Chain A
């Protein structure tokens, strides 16, 4: 999957971010190649969410820069930039006053797609994420289960067919069975759609599932990037500590419940 010679679609260049005096990211340099899925793995507070938000300019680096499509985010019109980047977060962040259809069709609506094309597209992406449009389009988020909300969140991010996807622990709040189901489906989606994806997780099992390159973050610094097999074999202590959490039979992620991150 990762094509070694593809150009960098997203590039962090010595990106630093401080919250007041507290450094969150300390000079992150990292390339994400076009069409690649990159896993940002790290514990809470390691700066992975911050790194993600630098890409769609929800945050701006205090120094250094982040390039999207070869252009620094600071030089992008933030509205244009964000409409090309699908964004999925842990609690879905659906608009409670919109139906599923309006939620999913929001970016196409903002982009003034004609109504029939929008409706078609909404139905298509709902099917992609495994929701029957006839059954779900008219519902409000309050009438959905956690897993369904998250599917709608993914559909919304895909709706305008953006070349980039940012996913911030998108399946982290789901029960283990639903999570395994959605992970499997998303894996299929990811292989079909040739998108550049940054996927944030604190769960090595999930990271390995996608078979993608893993960038390990710790305390705002990049501790290394690894191909999945290399990650499992490395003797570097931090990566090894993650591998140790898998227990025996490490290479095969299973349906077992993994430690959940709570609060913070």
Chain B
């Protein structure tokens, strides 16, 4: 059975695993965005937060992914279900580029623009929501794009803790020493990453041109 035949014979399984994979990534990214953007904003408001926040996100990034899954296993609510565990670990990895780009986006705004906003009597939240965030969208999206592509790759390891996804095929293929099975996980994951990059890159460029 060649690769194409193998893929078509297992297409439902592959499709289902791809769906699971996507699900893990999307939930993890939503979580990372929901946590990362406010943390990034906090750093731009209180510079002393920069060391603790960026420091911990940096350290988390250096933990090998398999080890991070292991570390989170004993955490009460998280460790009780594999998908929760996987989502949490993936979100932790996605955090750093999102926090960093939020900071870079806001700090990259022309200081004259911010000063004009203040001088015109905008409140702090008006400045944030009407000026700073809209102007940092392209940089923010770049961070989200990079983080999404990484997360799609790292999410294959989630199968090691039984969270499903395309990693299932990869681990199974490794155990069976069957390249076709490995590729049944690796190829769709690569395609997902490529698509995510293209689609998010498209939005990013559109936002850039919008000014």
Contacts and interface: CB of A to CB of B under 8 A. Distances in A.
Interface of A: 56, 58, 78-83, 85, 87, 89, 91-97, 106-107, 110, 140, 142, 156, 166
B135 A87 contact: no
Given A89-B115, A91-B112, A97 B210 contact: yes
Interface string B106-140: 00001011011111111100100001001100000
Contacts of A106: 120, 122
B46 interface: no
A21 to B, nearest CB: 20
B211 interface: yes
Task: Summarize A's interface: helix, strand, loop or mixed.
Answer: mixed
B113 A58 contact: no
Task: Summarize B's interface: helix, strand, loop or mixed.
Answer: helix
B121 A79 contact: yes
A81 B123 CA distance: 12
Contacts of B117: 95
Contacts of B118: 58, 82
B134 A97 contact: yes
Contact of A110 (B113, B119, B121): B121
Contacts of A166: 119
A107 B211 contact: no
Interface of B: 110, 112-113, 115-123, 126, 131, 134-135, 210-211
A93 B121 contact: no
A58 B120 contact: no
A58 B121 contact: no
A248 to B, nearest CB: 37
Contact of B110 (A79, A85, A93): A93
Contact of B120 (A80, A83, A142): A83
A97 B211 contact: yes
B123 A93 contact: no
A178 to B, nearest CB: 19
Contacts of B131: 95, 97
B112 A107 contact: no
A96 B208 CA distance: 11
Contact of B112 (A79, A80, A85, A89): A89
Nearest to B124: A79
Nearest to A78: B121
Given A79-B123, A95-B131, 9 more contacts: A58-B115, A58-B118, A79-B121, A93-B113, A94-B116, A95-B117, A96-B135, A96-B211, A110-B121
A107 B135 contact: no
A165 B117 CA distance: 15
A51 to B, nearest CB: 14
Nearest 5 CB-CB pairs, A to B?
A93-B116, A82-B121, A83-B121, A93-B112, A87-B119
A63 B64 CA distance: 55
A106 B119 CA distance: 12
Nearest to A159: B120
Contacts of B115: 58, 89, 93
Q: Give the residue among B112, B126, B210 with the most A Cβ atoms within 10 A.
A: B112
B211 A58 contact: no
A110 B130 CA distance: 11
B210 A80 contact: no
A166 B115 CA distance: 13
A97 B135 contact: yes
9 contacts: A78-B121, A79-B122, A93-B113, A94-B113, A96-B113, A96-B135, A97-B131, A106-B120, A140-B211
Contacts of B211: 96-97, 140, 142
